[in-house]
């Protein structure tokens, strides 16, 4: 499918989505978010795809939401636009998503990266939530995911006082997975996605959901969810294949069922 604001490419077992609004520093508007969710859904439904990468350019991942689009909107118009709700579509994707970030990931761009399951960053990556400068606050998960990732103190400073984290700081505080040279960040993200895509599909889906539940449930509830998912996988062909292959000392051949 041809999109206006993103590029979608099939890299065999990995789907790559590139934000493509260079003249607007990849600012997120309704069209881009709608196209992004559509592309994610297409890759999620493709049995040949095991993982997905979302990237920007070396200069900017996404500099935030498109302020020119929302500056004059009323509260009612913002609700009706459903722009923020589009981010919920990322949570609905079952396959692992990796953000490949270089340059600025600010505001909605930072929220988009945090909506992914993992983040690979270049040495030039910058993460921030500058909404306070516009008289508002993060509205697409920034106050929540950021606090879970970096802790209350750093999140408060970023949200209340526009502190921007360098890639090194983001790694130190647990926001991202790793920092690599600019010329390598996309390749590293794709290689990670390709390795993940070799895993058992059903187990990947259950594992992703179980880890995400750790943020939403109590320890007792989370352990119960994990246990049910663990038992469920014993009804799959992949479990039988995986354990048989281990015993026979050979590589497993996953079927996703």
Residues with catalytic function:
65, 108, 111, 131
CA nearest neighbour of 157 among 129, 126, 192: 129
CA nearest neighbour of 139 among 170, 115, 174, 168: 115
Label residues 77-108 b or e (16+ Cβ within 10 Å = b).
eeeeeebbebbebbeebebbbbbbbbbbbbbb
Q: Is the dihedral of CA 53, 62, 79, 1 positive or negative?
A: negative
Residues 6 or more apart in contact with residue 234 via CB below 8 angstroms: none
The neighbouring-strand residues paired with 52 are: 15, 97
Residue 3, token pair as written in the block = 């999109």
Q: What is the C-alpha separation between 43 and 92, in angstroms, rounded? A: 13
Q: What is the C-alpha separation between 254 and 257, in angstroms, rounded? A: 8
Q: How far is CA 186 from CA 45, 72, 96, 168, 255, in A?
A: 23, 36, 16, 17, 28
Asked whether 55 and 18 are in contact (CB, 8 A), the reply is yes
């Amino acid at each position: 499918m041809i999109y206006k604001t993103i590029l979608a490419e099939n890299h065999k077992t990995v789907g790559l989505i590139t934000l493509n609004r260079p003249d607007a520093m990849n600012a997120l508007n309704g069209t881009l978010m709608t196209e992004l969710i559509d592309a994610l859904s297409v890759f999620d439904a493709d049995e040949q795809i095991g993982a997905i990468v979302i990237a920007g350019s070396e200069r900017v991942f996404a500099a935030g939401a498109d302020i020119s689009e929302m500056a004059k909107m009323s509260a009612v118009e913002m609700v009706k636009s459903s722009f923020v709700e589009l981010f919920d579509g990322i949570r609905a994707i079952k396959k692992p998503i990796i953000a490949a970030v270089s340059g600025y990931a600010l505001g909605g761009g930072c929220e988009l990266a945090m909506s992914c399951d993992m983040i690979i960053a270049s040495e030039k990556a910058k993460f921030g939530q500058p909404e306070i400068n516009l008289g508002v606050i993060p509205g697409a998960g920034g106050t929540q995911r950021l606090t879970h990732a970096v802790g209350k103190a750093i999140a408060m400073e970023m949200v209340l006082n526009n502190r921007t984290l360098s890639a090194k700081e983001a790694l130190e505080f647990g926001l991202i997975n790793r920092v690599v040279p600019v010329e390598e960040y996309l390749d590293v993200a794709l290689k990670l996605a390709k390795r993940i895509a070799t895993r058992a599909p059903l187990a990947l889906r259950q594992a992703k959901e179980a880890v995400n539940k750790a943020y939403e449930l109590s320890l007792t509830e989370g352990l119960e969810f994990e246990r049910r998912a663990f038992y469920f996988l014993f009804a799959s062909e992949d479990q039988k294949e995986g354990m048989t292959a281990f015993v026979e000392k050979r590589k497993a051949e996953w079927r996703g069922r």
